Chains A and B, each alone.
Chain A
Amino acid sequence: MKEGKEEIERLRLRIRELEDELVRSSGEDRFRLVVESAPNGILVANREGRIVMVNQRAEELFGYSREEFEALKIEALVPRRFREGHGELRESFHEGPSTRPMGAGRDLHAVRKDGSEFPVEIALTPLPDETDALVLASIVDITERKRAQDELRRYADELERSNEELEGFASVASHDLQEPLRKIRTMGERLLHQSRDSLDERGLDYLDRMVRAGDNMQRLIRDLLEFSRVSTRGKSFRQINLLECVEEAVSNLEVTIEERNAVVRLGELPTLDADFGQMRQLFQNLVANAVKFHRDGVEPVVEIKSVTERSESQSWAVISVKDNGIGFDERYRDRIFAIFQRLHGKGQYEGTGIGLAICKKIAERHGGVISASSRSGEGSEFLVRLPLERGSGDGE
């Protein structure tokens, strides 16, 4: 009876052992399944750096078979130039094991069986085990991503170079265009003064129109030069008081403002990182426009004020320049910022149509945007959004 009980007890223990083993082994199987199905190459190494487990993707990545892997230490997969220090790094990982990316911020490379290298990203995860400190390394081949990044960077560089070339071209072309034009204008002017009496009325009229066309071309070239200089002659950014800057812009327009009996009201304006000269030019152009396009019989009133807008990553100063002038048809709200675009006949209002194009270019150079809204006959409002913190923009 007693023996029978002992026998049962022994069997019960044996069954529990078998159950445990079953659970453990099916857990291992499940683990293996996860490892095998992972899209990354996976290597498990022990504390000595021996490779104890790999998945199929790792075989494909490195070109070793499972058996070959198990005869290797992890260092065999590290480029020769980094091999020496790797053992120490491995040791230090085991002192404070945690899941983390390997070599954060560095370009990592791995070596295939045939000795070729490829760029990788590696995540390390400790796998505590009662007998050994195992580490699971999950490896992604980033050759394609790198190539795409390089391509993108090359494309961006090329774009920047071609932009610079274009700006250089505009500046050189307009400078060289001025030479012959200067002569045409000078001789036209001299002809008009010296040979006035020997020309008939028609001849004089032609000459007069020729000289005026020359003057107009001179203005266009000068404006084109000025436009191209926004990026080529820009100064670096520093903290500026926008109120001072706008006050200076307004005082530069004193004569026009007085002539038109215009009133310019300045509200609160922020301090921000910018090129003072360009900001002054931006607001000078906007105020000059506001005063120029006034309604007949209505004294121009221009209001400039700023509000702060916060998005998650950035604070913006949104500066409004609002007038009570003739306004414009909102269909043209984008066209007015294009170079040499004018909405009015030349007889009505002076100008080449460069002012707002320059404003736009300056705003963009500061990492900002400019927009306009209006209803014809009810004045217009220009909004300049500028980043309050240093960030985008090429003024660094």
Chain B
Amino acid sequence: MKKCLLMMVDDDPDDREFVRDAFDVCGFEGEFRYVEDGVELMDYLGRRGRYRAQENCPLPDLILLDLNMPRLDGKEALSAIKSDERLRRIPIVVLSTSETPEDIARTYDLGVNSFITKPSSFTELVGIAEGVKHYWMEIVKLPETAWRGKST
């Protein structure tokens, strides 16, 4: 079976490391990749810019999306993905420090699949990684897609 691809979008290298470590600790066996902002994410998904010539850019099975990022922020990226027929079925989980009702309402309006506020301790982060892994990779059924179908 194809390895699950988890794509994290976050401009903060410490946070990327924490999240990757948290997924490691809870036994995630898929592949963990990251991009640093919305522009890079859209480049990756559309195989543009530095990803144009790169081999091996499969679409992710789950995107962990930060909101506050330079260039193209999380909401803009979310809106772009959810209005793109080729990409809209990729589940997106916001993982941000924000807990404002406005951000939560707005991202759900834009079609986000879950909204998680970054916890303030590593123990909690491991709990969240476990929950995300269990729910999105074991419990839910996701639509068959070209990329998932092909490589199974």
Chain A residues at the B interface, C-beta cutoff of 8 Å:
175, 178-179, 181-183, 185-186, 189-190, 193, 218, 233
Contact = CB atoms under 8 A, between A and B. Distances in A.
A233 B104 CA distance: 15
B11 to A, nearest CB: 12
Given A186-B121, A186-B122, A189-B122, 15 more contacts: A175-B97, A178-B97, A178-B120, A179-B97, A181-B120, A182-B97, A182-B120, A183-B14, A185-B120, A185-B121, A186-B18, A186-B120, A189-B121, A189-B123, A233-B101
Interface of B: 14, 18, 21, 97, 101, 118, 120-123, 125
Which residue, of A181, A182, A193, has the highest number of chain B Cβ atoms within 10 A? A182
13 contacts: A175-B97, A178-B120, A182-B97, A182-B120, A185-B120, A185-B121, A186-B122, A186-B125, A189-B122, A189-B123, A190-B21, A190-B122, A193-B122
Contacts, number: 24
A182 B118 contact: yes
Nearest to A229: B100
B120 A218 contact: yes
B107 to A, nearest CB: 17
Main secondary structure of the interface of A (DSSP, over half): helix
A181 B118 CA distance: 13
Contacts of B97: 175, 178-179, 182
Main secondary structure of the interface of B (DSSP, over half): helix
Contacts of B14: 183
A186 B120 CA distance: 7
A373 to B, nearest CB: 37
Nearest to A171: B100
Nearest to B98: A175
A185 B124 CA distance: 12
A173 to B, nearest CB: 14
A355 B122 CA distance: 28
A182 B14 CA distance: 10
Nearest to B100: A233
A189 B126 CA distance: 12
A179 B18 CA distance: 13
Contacts of A181: 120
Nearest to B15: A183
A179 B15 CA distance: 10
A189 B121 CA distance: 7
B66 to A, nearest CB: 12
Contacts of A218: 120
Which residue, of B18, B21, B97, B122, has the highest number of chain A Cβ atoms within 10 A? B122
A178 B14 CA distance: 14
Which residue, of B14, B18, B120, has the highest number of chain A Cβ atoms within 10 A? B120
Contacts of A175: 97
